[in-house]
Amino acid sequence: MTDTIQLRKTLHQFPELSGYEAETAQRISAFLKRYMPDELITNVGGSGILAIYSPNSDYRRTVVFRCELDALPIQEVNEFEHKSQRENVSHKCGHDGHMAIMCELAKRLSNQRPLGTRVVLLFQPAEENGAGAVAIYGDARFKALEPDKVFALHNLPGYPLHEIVIKDHTFTCAVNSIIIKLHGRTSHAGEPEKGDNPALAIAGIIQQYNSLIQPDSRKEKFTILTPIYINMGTENYGISAGYGEVHYTFRRAANDEMKELEAQLEHIARSVATKYNLRLEISWTQRFSANENSPGAADIVRSAARACGYQLTEREAPFQWGEDFGLFTEHYEGAMFGLGSGIETSALHNPDYDFPDEIISTGAGIFHKIVELIDAQ
């Protein structure tokens, strides 16, 4: 464990943003080479890595375990020795710990090769902006693996250390973001009737979007809409604005419900733009599919947790944050589960968050037990 803990702290010191994880990938590749994967494939979907451990004889199935390479644009406030050395970049979601878990799993697979299962360790870039899963899934080298099952975990502050959190069906919500651009006509501020100002349209969109919010994730039509960015006009008091933007992010509990909401939001924006004689542009960004846990894959996680002696908690409602592992569970049978990282641990994305090294062995142990259980099938 000493080398994986040191790796985790080094990764924490030198974080990299989504799409720029080249140095992180080099560190991971160098570590993995010491533990002899049968194949080590780099530059997958950008800076992604596939480390493949195969049985000595023919394999009957392929299982993928995924972790993430990227950090966040957040200035760290901690002062410990392994604090981030990069200005305004830090591992505040625990991806450094997720990578360490996967590297610890590599060590175990090196010592104990799977019996009838080809195991693929996927180190994925760009999870935070949703681009990484799309890039990996679109890479022919990944598709050629034809996974039978896919698994991932996420550390969970607020849950006791080592606790395993699972749920059938939706584990994390579907998330998407919309950019609405409203093109009107500028005019003199003393003669606004001679132009088309987007102010009332922006207000109308906000008002109608707000009416759709249903914040209880345990109820039908759970919907959160959050305004992210609004821009209109300039600081020139003689000019009535002729252009404006409003950006929203929104989430629902399932992919089919998300599609329904997307259509509804577009309809509202078009109707309001027409009412105020504005030309509308709509674009979408940072889409995250819901993580749909198959009950069969979730049951394997449950069995692994019990076999390892860890407390198992059934989650009642989906987590409201997005996770692009949902793209993989759209296409392959699989499950994401939570790993408790401590009741007193700072929340994810907080400037003072740090991944607890105590759960590296826990995560690797659950993943390894999943391999053993699948091998035994």
Q: CA torsion 113→118→119→121, rounded to 10°?
A: 120
The C-alpha atoms of residue 346 and residue 130 are separated, in whole angstroms, by 24
Strands 61-68 and 149-156: parallel
Q: Which of 158, 197, 117 is nearest to 377 (CA)?
A: 117
Q: What is the 3-state secondary structure (H, E, C) of 160-194?
A: CCCCEEECCEEEECEEEEEEEEEECECEECCCHHH
pLDDT score recorded for residue 377: 85
| Domains of the chain with CATH codes | 2-172+290-375 (3.40.630.10), 178-287 (3.30.70.360)
Q: Is 80 exposed, middle or buried (0-12, 13-18, 19+ CB in 10 A)?
A: exposed
Low-confidence stretches of the chain (pLDDT beneath 50)? none
pLDDT score recorded for residue 220: 83
pLDDT score recorded for residue 130: 92
pLDDT score recorded for residue 70: 98
pLDDT score recorded for residue 340: 98
pLDDT score recorded for residue 168: 97
pLDDT score recorded for residue 254: 86
Q: Which amino acid is at 15?
A: P
φ, ψ for residue 369, nearest 5 deg: -65, -35
The C-alpha atoms of residue 164 and residue 328 are separated, in whole angstroms, by 21
Q: Which of 225, 262, 231 is nearest to 244 (CA)?
A: 231
The C-alpha atoms of residue 204 and residue 176 are separated, in whole angstroms, by 21
φ, ψ for residue 187, nearest 5 deg: -155, 175
% residues pLDDT > 70 (the chain):
100
